[in-house]
Structure 1
Amino acid sequence: MAVLERLPAGTILLCDSQAFGCAGAVFRVDPATGERGTLAMAGDLQGATGIALEADGSVLVSKDRLFPGTGVLLRLPAGTGSQTEVSSGGKFTAPGGVAVEADGRILVVDTFAAGSGAVIRVDPVTGDQTVLSLGEGEGDPPPRPVKLCTAHDGTILVVEQAMAGGADLSARVVRVDPVTGARTTVTSGGELRSPIGVAVDGEGSILIADANAFAGFGGGVIKVDPVSGTQTTVASGGGFVAPQALAIEADGSLLITDNEAMNGVGTLFRVNPTTGEQQVLASGGNFKRLTGIAVVPAAAG
């Protein structure tokens, strides 16, 4: 059996739904220099919505139904640009993001599955889909799940929002029990308006990238206490216009994508989690619409 080459630890991976003439792509970015390369392009990557890494270094990409074909979960084996289908159709309607549990099972958040959205668990070998948790379906329109991540204790964190006519009706962070699927609201309202990116830092705090947070809808990053739900501003304004995807590097630095920054150019920011200072790490070029971000961890052992 061929040994798959792992990407270097710290490498930043970005999925782009519209790069290369809307063909879609997965980019790799050097965390030190910002130099970028293309890991994969075209194929089924048009409409890519989220990205995550499996334990062997393989890359998972979710794809939205609004582009050709139905919702799809793809795998790019480690160190290659080839694409294989893990799961498609079935309960998928509009996959919005993907995460991997400690035991290797895959989680896909789907904004419109079962009517009000759902968290769907996927078997990484067979591709079988199981609905773990359904959206509550309350309100007109109901708040819908858009992104997710896993916490250190195995629970699942989902960001939800409901927009109608440009007005925010509900924005919140929900904790989902990985066994029962039971849902608990961690925080809602406050500065949250259009939460999208979500990640958990080394101390267990929840970080949210919100495209319209704060007065003037300038967007920013919000830290949420996982117990009390208290919200604290990490960064706002500056170069941000509509922050979207979020990931955390090994040293705690935050990585944020913004497709409206720099006069409407896809941009990757690095943000100091203490001071909120923003640094443009990579921008423009072949970036078109950056929808997901992941960081290659150090190999176990």
Structure 2
Amino acid sequence: MAVQDRLPAGTILLCDSQAFGCAGAVFRVDPVTGERQALSIAGDLQGATGIALEADGSVLVSKDRFHPGTGVLLRLPVGTWTQTEVTSGGKFTAPGDVAVEADGRILVVDSFTGGSGAVIRVDPATGDQVVLSESDGAGDPPPRPVRLCVAPDGAVLVVEQAMAGGMDLSARVVRVDPVSGARTTVTSGGDLRSPIGVAVDGGGAILVADANAFPGFGGGVIKVDPVSGAQTTVASGGAFVAPQALALEADGSLLITDNEALDGVGTLFRVNPATGAQQVLASGGDFKRLTGVAVVPAS
């Protein structure tokens, strides 16, 4: 592909499961002006759950089976942005997020694979699926994996939550060994109630967006020490209602989606990681339910 077909570094990408009359869409957002443009609409994007970028600039989108049909992993090749299927069905039950490893292999987290959820590794060329790690199923109900990211050292970080009767019973951040699939709990409980977004900053700290954290269930962002598991608050309350997807910009700023903020419209926030100050970057319009966010890295 021609170099000019790639999106500029810093461009923000959002997937929306219900945009354009519930058809679903992938948007690009200018990081300076907040201006948005739809890259792809409808097709298999209804029910989109997560978004990631491959090394060549192609966009990956995971899709939940309920909207409609089976779970699907889509690729939007750079420059054309047409939807092609990488893989579907198989071990997919309810794909919730997607990430890319350094060697190009794709990871998809699924909340119900094997009964209590799993991280599934996908071959980017063949679409072959292999379970890397299953949730341990501990608890009643067991915490289910909902989001994931890949740390700079290759470790896979997964956020898990369990709900029954509308109450959050347990939540945790789990580190998965990328070779063995062995699982280690990094942190649990504390301010975590409904963790639903995860990323790793330049210093190795784990950042978690939680839809119901803190007194009053206003939601916010929690920083987790990767060694001790200690939790500290980055941002809470303010205009947040139910923070969801989370990504980091090159300067360390946080990008967070919230579909209940500002009178219930899809909103993209930028948050200062040092002060917790919130800025509305883009909101409303064609946005309906923003479920994933990613940032185009420098080439």
Aligned residue in 2 for 1:290: 290
Q: 2 CA distance for matches of 1:296 and 1:23?
A: 24
**TM superposition shift of 1:246:** 0.3
Q: Distance in 1 between matches of 2:24 and 2:229?
A: 36
Paired letter, 1:126: T
Matched, 1:255 2:285: no
1:201 deviates by: 0.5
Residue 79 (structure 1) aligns with: 79
Shift of 1:68: 1.1
Provide the residue aligned with 1:134 in structure 2. 134
Distance 1:69 1:212 in 2: 30
Q: Secondary structure at the match of 1:130?
A: strand
Distance 2:51 2:271 in 1: 20
Shift of 1:140: 1.6
CA distance in 2, matches of 1:172, 1:159: 6
Q: Is the 8 A contact 1:209 1:222 kept in 2?
A: yes
Q: How far off its partner does 1:66 sit?
A: 1.2
The CA deviation at 1:166 is 1.4
Partner of 1:161: 161
In the other structure, the counterpart of 1:121 is 121
Residues 115-167 of structure 1, C-alpha deviation per residue, up to 9 Å, x if partnerless? 00000000000000000000111222110000000001000000000001111
2:26 is matched with which residue? 26
Q: Which residue of the partner structure matches residue 267 of structure 2? A: 267
Deviation of the 1:60 alpha carbon? 0.2
Residue 3 of structure 1 aligns with which residue?
2
Give the match's secondary structure for 2:113. coil
Partner of 2:55: 55
SS of equivalent to 2:21: helix
One-letter code of the match for 1:206? Answer: I
With 78-87 and 141-150 compared, the bigger mean Cα shift is at 78-87
Shift of 1:24: 0.3
* RMSD after superposition: 0.7
Shift of 1:3: 3.2
Aligned-pair distance for 1:168?
Answer: 1.1
**Unmatched runs of 5 consecutive residues or more in structure 2:** none
Structure 1: runs of 5 or more not aligned: none
Deviation per residue, 1:204-239 (Å, 9 max, x gap) = 100000000001100000000001100000000000
Contact 1:143 1:171 in 2 (8 A): yes
1:143–1:161 CA contact under 8 A, matched in 2: yes
Q: Quote the residue 2:146 is aligned against.
A: 146
Question: Is residue 59–residue 76 contact of structure 1 (8 Å, CA) maintained in 2?
Answer: yes
* TM superposition shift of 1:79: 2.2
Question: Which residue does the alignment assign to 1:13?
Answer: 13
Deviation at 1:80, TM superposition (A): 2.2
Match of 2:174 in 1: 174
The 5 A counterparts of 1:273-284 are: 273-284=273-284
Q: Work out the CA distance in 2 between the residues paired with 1:246 and 1:227.
A: 21
Alpha-carbon separation, structure 1, partners of 2:278 and 2:66: 32
> Which residue pairs with 2:107 in the alignment?
107
Q: Does 1:235 align with 2:235?
A: yes
Distance in 1 between residues matched to 2:253 and 2:2, nearest whole Å: 31
Displacement after TM superposition at 1:65 (Å): 0.9
Which residue of structure 2 lines up, in the alignment, with residue 88 of structure 1? 88
- Give me the whole-angstrom Cα distance separating, in 2, the residues matched to 1:3 and 1:267: 33
Give the match's secondary structure for 1:114: helix
Measure the CA separation in 2 of the matches of 1:241 and 1:203. Answer: 28
What is the TM-score when the length of structure 1 is the normalising length? 0.98
Structure 2 CA distance for aligned equivalents of residues 78 and 250 of structure 1: 21
Give the count of matched residue pairs: 298
3-state DSSP of counterpart to 2:275: coil
| Alpha-carbon distance in 1 for matches of 2:235, 2:80 | 36
SS in 1 for 2:163: strand
Mapped partners of 2:274, 2:139: distance in 1? 37
Q: Distance in 2 between matches of 1:172 and 1:72?
A: 26
Q: What is the distance in 1 between the residues matched to 2:127 and 2:280?
A: 38
Identity %: 84
Please list every run of at least 4 consecutive aligned residues from structure 1 whose deviation after the TM superposition is greater than 4 angstroms.
none
TM-score by length of 2: 0.99
